[in-house]
Structure 1
Amino acid sequence: MDLIADITGYFARSFSNGYTATNPGRLVDTRLGVGTAKGSVRSGGSFTVQIAGNNVGPLPADGVTAVALNVTVTGPQGGGSLTVFPNGTGLPTASNRNYSPGQTIANAVIAPVGADGKIKIYNGSWGSADVVVDVVGYYSPARASAYLPITPFRWLDTRSWGKGPPYDSSRYHIYSRFGDPGDTGFVLNTTVTNTTGGGYLTVSPDPNNIDAYKGKYAGRPNRPLVSTLNWKKGETVSNLVHATPGPGGIIDVWNTGTGSTDLVVDVFGYYTV
């Protein structure tokens, strides 16, 4: 196979912009006219998304230099790619998500924000496509949370943990490494496999703490209307996610599909203060 790798940025050991995790929220859904005009994006077309000051998240009006997103393409009429880049700059020779006709597929994106507080999304396909954009965090000079990469390790694999795969409408809560309140975000790779029906995965913060689960008095969290990855029956699909933990250092992983699916979660790093 051939391989294409595009670079969009790097993390340094020196002082730089810090990360802030947000409540996951939907910025754009072209199918419904959320955050942009209603209707699929034509071939070669583009649209802008207001990042600075957006009440989804919410995102501050000043100081946002980059934004952490999950970008999904659905219902494309032809094969192609999406490119996410700062508004007011030229179209880069890079892509954020490639797809085939009819495919629904997502990718994690860290996108620089233009001087006007906006990003632009370009459809480099031979046909029209719908686009869904969820926000999970942002970067700014005013924040101190830094990225700490680690040697990757497998956090969860439901194929071998003895409890069976999550069924539709079910969820699993996952604790942070030590319940450290300084961990403001996790960088994970989530994979679904042995899928018996189609659906999508949601990763979201859990409002409970560890003691509430141990004491069996934890309240059931509400699942936000966001997605991390999508799949069809029989597919194995993975995607990177910047996961926002709740105040107790816990995240929830929801199977919103029509059947059971095994789940694999690998950890690549943390955001910490």
Structure 2
Amino acid sequence: MRAHVRRLTVVLAATVAGTFPTVPASAAGTPPGPVAVTAVADGLALRVDWTPPEDRTGITGYRVSTVPAGLSLDLPADADHAVLAGVRPNTGYVAEVAALAGADASPPTRAGGPVTVAAPGGSLVAVPPARLLDTRSGLGAPAGATRQVTLTVAGRGGVPGTGAAAVALNVTVTAPAGGGFVTAYPGGTARPTASNVNYARGQTVANLVVVPVGADGTVVLYSSAPTQLVADVAGWFSTAGTASPAAGLFHGLAPARLVDTRTGLGGVTPGPDGQLDVQVTGAGGVPASGVSAVVLNTTVAGADAAGFVTAYPAGQPRPTASTLNFVARQVLANRVIVPVGVDGRVSFYNRAGSTPLVVDVTGWFSDGSDPSVGGAYLASVPPTRIVDTRAGLGAPKAPVAGGASLPVAVAGRAGLPAATAALPPHRDDRQRHGGPADQRRFPHRLPVSHRPPHRLGPQLHPGRGGAQPLRRPARCRRRHAGAQLGRRHPRRRGRGRLLPRRHGGAQQHPSGGRR
């Protein structure tokens, strides 16, 4: 009897299983998908909206993702929109949303077409230094001292014929007829009240400047006194529309010393026609890989002869260009943007004498091999004066005391964005959802793609949280104050020994070492 019951049970179970009606997908664990999925650019992010399915039984949340993959966010069941951060500018994304029911998910419902977030500025393409202008030889302009040159930069020295929004130039003044200043600005625009290089009679002075390119592909160099002008290009920045989503983005660093040949750090002091190769990747905060170029502050610390130093990518032919010009026993500095060469190194060529070198790294540019590293774009603006303590512009009308700092408000001035809207916070906070009350949106003009920005001189927008203090060395405050206004400033005797200018050009005694 017991065996008979067991046999009957098995038969009945098989019969029930064979005649049970089809189970709806939702009851089986797979929920119905959302409908009406749309996606739009939201500043530097991607906003995705959807309509939940009519039958929400069992739905525990939604998963928002993109094609190409990389952005994904899980949300609770009451969400109907999300904002995805970490978007690479100038890259088309197709958004898709799937409903979740525990561990199960519906097939994703896609938005209509790809959405592209516009880059807020340009990306850098660094080039080995190339000479574009030398009025001593007639390169790029008629030979002879001049007060103004309209220099064609588009299509020369590695700069493309179109698509360059700004260029990085090392501008050198040599043999000026009197004290004065040089202003670099976009061709076809009015000359601004600003200066890039200040000089005294007979000096050789250099400074690195990032200047927008005019609509005709030119940059104007104006000098308040007749002088010879030399300009070497170090790189160019794309327009926002052609900016790379990952390459040529800037990462600022706290200054780190890589070389001081006086103490043997990083190498020995180069002699005449000597060369020092410096390892820059994997040092001073620069990653070991993924780097296209570095920003270096290079100082000559008391050479025993007049000469010049050229920084260029290791393993490449030495260019006809110069980074610093100096006389014997002079101490001076200049900034340089230089591509990294073989094995992540940069070479420094010394023309004459024994020349102690000090090299500090202040930032690097990505090469695009790892898009996740992010970085800052350049949004260039025409040169505009925002501080002049002689006239009380942007600061009290008084000299800056030795050892003191001068805080300068830059946000909302001279074409820079206002500081009223916060910059994107960390990724976990930026990927969000909510109803109409959640109105935190990204500003439409920001200097970053998906990481907080760092500053690269006055052309980059300020860093975290708006206005940043601009710290200027007090030792640079006087010598050529009059030159910026077109006035000659009384000069003291003994010009041969000058202090370095971290934010300025290499000032030089009238004698030798020119290139």
| Rounded Cα–Cα distance in structure 2 between residues aligned with 1:131 and 1:165 | 30
Q: Which amino acid aligns with 2:148?
A: S
Which residue pairs with 2:304 in the alignment?
196
Once the two structures are TM-superposed, the CA of residue 119 in structure 1 deviates from its matched residue by 0.5
Asked whether 1:182 is paired with 2:276, we answer no
In structure 1, distance between residues paired with 2:340 and 2:155 = 23
**Per-residue CA shift, 1:143-177, capped at 9, x if unaligned?**
33111001111110001117642111001111222
The answer for the alignment partner of 1:63 in structure 2 is 163
The code of the aligned residue for 2:234 comes to V
Aligned-pair CA distance for 1:194:
2.2
1:38 aligns with 2:140: no
* Pairs aligned (count): 239
- Of Structure 1 and Structure 2, the greater strand share is in 1
Cα distance, 1:107 vs. partner? Answer: 0.5
Amino acid at match of 2:231: V
Q: Answer whether contact 2:281 2:289 (CA < 8 A) is retained.
A: no
Cα separation, 2, equivalents of 1:70 and 1:189: 13
Q: Distance in 1 between matches of 2:232 and 2:302?
A: 26
Counterpart Cα distance in 2 of 1:50 and 1:186: 26
Partner of 1:105: 205
Match of 2:174 in 1: 74
Alignment of 1:51 with 2:181, yes or no, is no
Q: C-alpha separation between the residues in 1 aligned to 2:189 and 2:348? A: 36
SS of the counterpart of 1:160? coil
Instruction: Give, in whole Å, the separation in 2 of the partners of 1:146 and 1:164.
Output: 32
Q: Distance in 2 between matches of 1:180 and 1:155?
A: 14
Paired with 2:182 and 2:136, the residues of 1 have a C-alpha distance of 16
Structure 1 position 252 matched with structure 2 position 352: no
TM-score, normalisation: structure 1: 0.84
Tell me if the contact between 1:181 and 1:248 (Cα under 8 Å) persists in the aligned partners: no
**Matching residue of 1:270:** 364
What is aligned with 1:218? none
Is this contact kept in 1: 2:127–2:338, CA < 8 A? no
**Amino acid corresponding to residue 254 of structure 1 in structure 2:** Y
Gaps of 5+ in 2: 1-118, 369-515
Query: Counterpart of 1:86 in structure 2: which amino acid?
Result: P
Under a length normalisation based on structure 2, what TM-score does the superposition of the two structures give?
Answer: 0.45
Q: 2:125 — aligned with what?
A: 20
Gaps of 5+ in 1: 1-13, 208-220
The aligned amino acid for 2:129 is: P
**8 Å CA contact retained: 2:281, 2:345:** no
Task: State the partner residue of 2:322.
Answer: 227
Identity among equivalent pairs (%)? 39
- 2:212 and 2:172 map into 1 onto residues whose CA distance is 18
- Picking from 237, 242, 259, the partner of 1:139 is 237
Structure 1 equivalent of residue 331 of structure 2:
236
* 1:121-160 matched pairs, under 5 angstroms: 121-125=221-225, 128-141=226-239, 142=242, 143=244, 144-160=247-263
Aligned partners of 1:60, 1:164: CA distance in 2, in Å? 38
Hey, which bits of structure 1, 4+ residues long, moved more than 6 A?
Answer: none
Distance in 1 separating the partners of 2:219 and 2:238: 15
Look at both structures and tell me which one has the larger radius of gyration over its CA atoms.
2
1:248 match: secondary structure: helix
Aligned with 1:161 (options 226, 240, 264): 264
SS of residue matched to 1:94: coil
For residue 295 of structure 2, what is the amino acid of its counterpart? Answer: V
* Distance in 2 of aligned mates of 1:107 and 1:94: 14
Q: How far 1:205 moved relative to its partner?
A: 0.7
Q: Name the Cα RMSD after superposition.
A: 1.5
Partner of 2:474: none
Write the deviation string for residues 72-111 of structure 1: whole angstroms up to 9, x where unpaired. 0001110100110001111111000001111111101101
Alignment partners' CA distance in 2, 1:39 and 1:182: 43
Q: Which has the higher contact order (CA 8 A, sep 6+)?
A: 1
Deviation at 1:187? 0.6
Kept in 1, the 8 Å contact 2:128–2:338? The answer is no
